[in-house]
């Protein structure tokens, strides 16, 4: 549940980018930070290992501004994708309001996508949440690699593997080039805020 | 919030605000355009020369290597990442030309690595510059290590040269008579080498501290 300060009329929305290692979660945040810096005036906090992998998490907070008298503050987080950091992933999911599942479209990553989604379900269950109760969207990243002759999974295949039975919004994307990064972000913020409103009603 | 925000009003206001913050009509991030055909052919020509140098080092091959690097630097002058690599290649070319058989054994592995990376970053011109800068860092490090090795070798050289001169009774090379043409050419090459070094150092500094 979002942090809501009724006295000061502030609502904090926590969005977590989840997915397999090297799938492009950090690249999403880096793109948002770089491309929209002049609009959101945010500082990105990131903790990386020597090999440029996310060690703990990335954090990008920014304000949307006043919506119907409420100050909406959004906090974007990524989780470390490597399997060994599950405790950190679980911790970052605490109090989550919306999730972007960043799948890697490369054909070789098919299994790791499925495993990561399963891991997300398990970790949400620890907070008595599920992929039915939490707003989430899918992003099929690295779709542009097909142009370089790298085998990628089709959107239909990715939908069958990851979105069957959920029917969530899904965005074929290239986080590196910025394709559909903003669209993904806008959708999840919109879903998360309306979900918070619905919970309060 | 619930009383103050009827469903549709909230959604439309939120949508409008998100559209202001994250406009999509600008399209994907602007990145340098991929190299035109002319640049690719210059690069292909340089590759041939690099391969021929790898096989046999002749004064003609080195001279055409230096010329080709100069042409490519001109063609890719807007590409600062490729510029760093081309300046390294240019400096290596002048070093090989000046040192001939005395070149440091690391020279050619470094030259080949720098050229391979140049091919890569030119092909990935659409990538963000920060990512391309990150790619070239290993070659910058290798080049700097080579420079340090060469500098160490040069510090030791005067002593060895003095000893050799004493043994042979002085006199260096200079079997060819010094003409005005030779002198002008040597000065032009020296000037070009110094300029390449300065450009290289400037770009290296920029690569390490972007935005400085």
Q: Judge whether residue A152 has pLDDT over 80.
A: yes
Mean pLDDT, range A177-199, rounded to an integer? 93
| Number of inter-chain CB pairs under 8 A, A vs B | 75
- State the pLDDT at residue A1: 62
**B34-79 per-position pLDDT tens digit:** 556 667 788 888 988 888 877 777 888 888 999 999 999 888 888 8
Q: Per the structure block, which two tokens stand in for B71?
A: 């042409």
- State the pLDDT at residue B99: 83
A1-15, A69-83, B58-72: lowest mean pLDDT where?
Answer: A1-15
B116 interfaces chain A, CB cutoff of 8 Å: no
Task: Find, in chain B, the residue whose alpha carbon is nearest to that of A191.
Answer: B11
Residue with tokens 């920060």: B130
Within chain A, how many helices (H) and strands (E) appear? 6, 8
Q: Judge whether residue B210 has pLDDT over 60.
A: no
Are A186 and B22 within 8 A, CB to CB? yes
- State the pLDDT at residue B170: 45
**B106-126 per-position pLDDT tens digit:** 888 889 889 988 988 888 877
Q: Judge whether residue B2 has pLDDT over 50.
A: no
A44 interfaces chain B, CB cutoff of 8 Å: no
Mean pLDDT, range A107-131, rounded to an integer? 95
d(CA B57, CA B53): 5
DSSP string, chain B: -TTT--HHHHHHHHHHHHHHHS--TT-SPP-PPPPPHHHHHHHHHHHHHHHHHHH---HHHHHHHHHHHHHHHHHTTT-HHHHHHHHHHHHHHHHHHHHGGG--TTHHHHHHHHHHHHHHHHHTTTS-HHHHHHHHHHHHHHHHHHHHHHHHHHHHHHHHHHHHHHHHTS--S--S---HHHHHHHHHHHHHHHHHHHHHHHHHHHHHSTT-
A182 interfaces chain B, CB cutoff of 8 Å: yes
pLDDT band for position A161 (cuts 50, 70, 90): very high
d(CA B142, CA B112): 11
- State the pLDDT at residue B38: 64
Which of B3, B8, B10, B21 best probes binding to A when mutated, by most A CB atoms within 10 angstroms? Answer: B21
Q: Judge whether residue A188 has pLDDT over 70.
A: yes
Q: Judge whether residue B158 has pLDDT over 80.
A: no
Residues of A in contact with B10 (CB under 8 A): 67-68, 193-194, 197
Given the cut 0.95, state whether the ipTM is greater than it.
no
Q: Per the structure block, which two tokens stand in for B134?
A: 């990150």
A140 interfaces chain B, CB cutoff of 8 Å: no
């Amino acid at each position: 549940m979002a942090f809501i300060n009724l006295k000061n009329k502030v609502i904090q929305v926590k969005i977590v980018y989840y997915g397999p290692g090297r799938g492009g979660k950090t690249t999403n945040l880096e793109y948002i930070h770089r491309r929209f810096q002049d609009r959101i005036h945010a500082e990105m906090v990131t903790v990386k290992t020597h090999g440029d992998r996310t060690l703990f998490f990335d954090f990008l907070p920014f304000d949307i501004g006043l919506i119907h008298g409420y100050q909406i503050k959004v906090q974007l987080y990524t989780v470390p994708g490597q399997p060994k950091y599950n405790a950190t992933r679980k911790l970052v999911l605490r109090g989550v309001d919306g999730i972007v599942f960043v799948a890697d479209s490369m054909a070789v990553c098919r299994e790791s996508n499925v495993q990561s989604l399963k891991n997300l379900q398990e970790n949400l269950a620890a907070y008595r949440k599920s992929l039915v109760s939490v707003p989430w969207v899918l992003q099929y990243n690295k779709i542009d690699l097909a142009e370089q002759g790298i085998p990628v999974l089709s959107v239909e295949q990715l939908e069958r593997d990851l979105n069957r039975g959920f029917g969530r919004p899904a965005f074929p994307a290239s986080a590196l080039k910025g394709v559909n990064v903003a669209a993904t972000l806008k959708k999840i913020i919109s879903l998360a805020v309306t979900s918070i409103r619905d919970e309060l009603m | 919030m619930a009383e103050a925000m009827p469903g549709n009003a909230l959604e439309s206001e939120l949508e409008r605000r998100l559209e202001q913050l994250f406009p999509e009509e600008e399209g994907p991030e602007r990145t340098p355009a991929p190299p035109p055909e002319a640049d690719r052919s210059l690069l292909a020509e340089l590759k041939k020369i690099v391969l021929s140098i790898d096989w046999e080092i002749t004064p003609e091959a080195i001279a055409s290597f230096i010329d080709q690097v100069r042409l490519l630097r001109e063609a890719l002058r807007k590409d600062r990442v490729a510029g760093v690599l081309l300046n390294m290649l240019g400096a290596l070319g002048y070093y090989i030309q000046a040192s001939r058989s005395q070149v440091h054994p690391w020279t050619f592995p470094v030259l080949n690595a720098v050229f391979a990376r140049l091919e890569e970053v030119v092909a990935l011109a659409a990538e963000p510059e920060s990512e391309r800068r990150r790619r070239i860092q290993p070659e910058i490090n290798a080049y700097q290590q080579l420079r340090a090795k060469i500098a160490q070798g040069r510090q030791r050289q005067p002593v060895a040269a003095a000893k050799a001169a004493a043994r042979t009774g002085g006199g260096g090379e200079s079997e060819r008579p010094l003409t005005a043409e030779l002198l002008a050419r040597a000065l032009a090459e020296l000037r070009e080498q110094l300029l390449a070094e300065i450009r290289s150092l400037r770009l290296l500094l920029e690569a390490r501290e972007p935005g400085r």
